Amino acid sequence: MTGSTPMATPSTDRETTTAPDADPRFEVPLRGIDVDPETRCAHWDDPVDVIALRFGCCEAYYPCDACHDAATDHEAVPWPRERFDESAVLCGVCRTTLTAREYLNAGEDACPVCGAAFNPGCRKHRDRYFEGEGPHDEDGDDDL
């Protein structure tokens, strides 16, 4: 059973896309493996896994870092701190993009716009998605 969708969009295309192209179902550039209409993916498909995160390296959204690695051939770079006021998180339920700051400051693990529950586990590895402020000294970028 699916919940009520505000827009009556027929969701017939739940096919597996193999090509790592941007997904036409989303307004933002989004890629991943077995992405469903609410941005769950092959790796994270619990009811609460409904966000996609933007990466600093290629500026596209991915449901998770494993999707990033599968869809690209470069190392994932977390969203940079100096761009925390730019959209970097997509709520797959209402399709609203949140800035990194809005997401990180939301307090609760839920979409501030539609109230959809987000996976609280994401916080545990938020350093994969958002550049940390901490004592992590990063002088010079390590280009490999």
Residues at the site binding Zn ion, with contacts judged by CB under 5 A: 41, 43, 55, 57-58, 63-64, 66-67, 72, 91, 93-94, 111, 113-114, 116
Cβ-based nearer residue to Zn ion, 124 or 137 = 124
Q: CA–CA separation, 144 vs 43, rounded Å?
A: 27
Contact 92, 117 (CB under 8 A): no
Residue with tokens 């925390």: 84
Q: How far is the CB of 95 from Zn ion (least distance, A)?
A: 7
Q: How far is the CB of 21 from Zn ion (least distance, A)?
A: 14
Q: How far is the CB of 55 from Zn ion (least distance, A)?
A: 4
Cβ-based nearer residue to Zn ion, 15 or 137 = 15
Sheet of strand 87-91: strand arrangement: 61-62, 51-54, 87-91, 97-99
Cβ-based nearer residue to Zn ion, 72 or 87 = 72
Cβ-based nearer residue to Zn ion, 106 or 113 = 113
Q: CA–CA separation, 18 vs 42, rounded Å?
A: 12
Q: How far is the CB of 62 from Zn ion (least distance, A)?
A: 7
Q: Computed from CA positions of residues 123, 43, 63, 20, in that sequence, does the dihedral angle turn out positive or negative?
A: positive
